[in-house]
A and B are shown apart, each in its own frame.
Chain A
Amino acid sequence: MSEEPSPNDRIDDAVKTRLSRLREEPVETAELEHRLLALASETESATPRHRFFTGWRRLTATAAVVVLAALSGLVLMNLQVSPAIASPEQMVSLHDDATNHNPTAKSVTTIEQARRELVSQWNGVPELPEPPAGSLCGCCVHRVANRKVACLLLKDGQTPVTMMVGSTHDLRETEGDTREIHGKKFTVHRLNESRIVTTEQNGRFVALIGELPETRLLELADEIKF
């Protein structure tokens, strides 16, 4: 004799099935996978280690380690302090990542929502300038040249545009054609169909990236409220 499942059993089964479908959500593992494989590949030398150092050999080895550590520290400090250069290729790649099936992107329509969302993901998010009215549709935190940046995802009509915001302590723009509109200086880069307009304002490095005519992208850049 078959029994009708109780309402609680139906709920139990339904929730279980619904949760199992969360596995269908795409998970972007490429960047982490790359980092982990690089770490795993830093293998020890195949030659056996000498376990015992004696006398001057131990002293020499210790001195060498100290010097190397100091040098590495200096190099590391220099690397951390110096801003990286954001190349057009890196910025277009960021735009592609940010706008194509980006699982980390959050849907927002106001700059306040974007600020809240980005701050929840990254404490050090720079002050966000206000994008052109009505264009904001999403946001995410991304990396360019191994530095964190905030991305505001915009739409100009149907064309996606990424507004990347970083700190000039972290990122600087590469040389390109310069334009001046209403007293503001912009730099323009071209890469295949993509156009990039960058500017540095009040300690922030801002780039607009999209497949739009250069003039249109400059108009949008001019509408940004810093």
Chain B
Amino acid sequence: MREPPHRTGITGLAAVSALGRGAQAQLAGVLAGVAAFGPVRRFDVGGRKVTNAATLAGAGTLAEELTGVIRDACAGLTDAERARTPLVLGLHGHPDAGRSARATATVRYAAEVAARAGLAGVAKVYTCACVSGSTAIADAAAMIRAGRHGRVVVAAGYLVEPDQFALFDSGRALANDGAARPFSTGRSGLLLGDAVSAVVLEPGGDREVLAEVVGWGRAGDGCHAVRPDPAGRGMATAIGDALRRGGVSPAEVGYVNANASGAEGDSAEAAALRAVFGAAPVPVSSTKSVHGHGLEGSGLLELVVTVLAVAAGKLPVNAGHLGPDPACDVDLILDAPRRAATPYALTLNAAFGGANTALLVRAGS
């Protein structure tokens, strides 16, 4: 007889961003709805067209911050339990890549983070840009549901640094007016932000579950190397797959933390949301409007924020909004947080390559 699928519980989480250190700082920050963007002082931006980002003052190295959030997320585990738990990591690569020949050893770097955090070792490293953390969660949830592995720590991180900042600046991808304005008229681009997070995932059972990952979807656009499909078909497929796996109807979803970054392509995600939710629009915001775009760290930070917000029963606002864009006709949460009407929420992410992910969570056990 076939065994019932295992539930995938989130039993620990932690994050660091420009909103502060720790889970409660993230929740307070997104509910306050005050964008954390300001002049970059971490490195010289004198030659750049744009000079703003959302950075945490006094942040350590990426390895230090990753180690810190993993330890925080694992606070409920004994040393022995941590020592049996593998790490799955999402990151751009070795932070010193390009400057040190030794820095090509990304997997060694990941193993060092796992060792410093007291984990069993590194099981997998995702380098798929802005869907790194969310793909890691989807894959881990799939393996847990299938009964193929037990507890795992998923961590992902990006700290604003000069190389990616220069690339985004040269590509004219950064907002030129000091604010990221997802889905808004007059939006001019994204702004980068620190995002380092960790989540403990495990089969539901003995320990208190903060939230359950009930569904996930991952799909490609097959449309363009970097631009999203204007019709949002890949994202719509990912959302549909997440709902199907979760056995949840669109009407049961009470919140979407959108991928939208303030870029022109936000309209593609709006098209996907309209395709799935149709005439019964779901409350939407993008917390990138507050904490910025954390690249490889974005998906996991946004999962953490989404879980915390829905568990608190309050849905974050979409900051930076100047006015409606007819191409982004979604039910935006503006002005003040709304009450969560259901425990189900989606967090969406998209990346270059037409990669889309959707994670469906249910707050509480």
Partners in one complex: no
**Interface residues of B, Cβ cutoff 8 Å to A:** none
